[in-house]
Structure 1
Amino acid sequence: MNAEMLNISPAVVWVIALSQLLTFGLTVWNMISSGSRANAKRLDEHAGMLARHSERLQSMEQAVRDMPSRDDFHKLDREMVGLRGTMAVLTERLEPLKAITERMQELLLERGK
């Protein structure tokens, strides 16, 4: 074996050059992808926030659906007007009873003296 056959210095130079290129390429890749990883993290946070807002919106929509409608309030108003009339009639019919009880109380107080 002569010295020309065992000379590996050109191969070492190529290996070092490829190693440097690979290191440079990986550095550039990490710089580019680090932004996308940060964005992916922010996107995950926003997705969670969006899911919470969606749940809140659904609960609000359900609450609005369960609220009485305009027709329900109108029916309630009519019923209250009817009750007001019934109470007026009842009050009018109780007036004689009130007078009787007042006279009986006066009589009992006079007898008690």
Structure 2
Amino acid sequence: MQYSIVEYPAVETTALADEFIEGYEGVRTKSLFLVNRKKNRSYLVIMDGAKELDLDSLAEQFGESRLSFGSPERLQPALGLEPGIVSPFEMLDPDPREVKLCFDEVILTERS
């Protein structure tokens, strides 16, 4: 398998990120850092960048009453990243994290 590494600055939307990867093959994903209502559980959700997330449906699937986007202040201690950077690769860190990593099944079988 061949791959290319594309480095670009932190961006706030997938549309801005797309400017840096135009012309490359692959499935476009987005990483979302979510917390439950009590803010005692965190989730890193990786999904197709073109899909919209139904937070209510996802909360139900996770057995939560509500999910919301985690604040930058919660992101740094949870994943060890600076605000605005959300990456599943941070989950490879041997330091145990209290974040549940979740992939949308669809992206595991998609092709570009």
Q: TM-score range by the shorter chain?
A: under 0.3
Query: TM-score scaled to structure 1, two decimals?
Result: 0.15
Q: Which has the higher contact order (CA 8 A, sep 6+)?
A: 2
Query: TM-score scaled to structure 2, two decimals?
Result: 0.15
Q: Point out the structure with max Rg over C-alpha.
A: 1
Q: Report the structure, 1 or 2, having the larger strand content.
A: 2
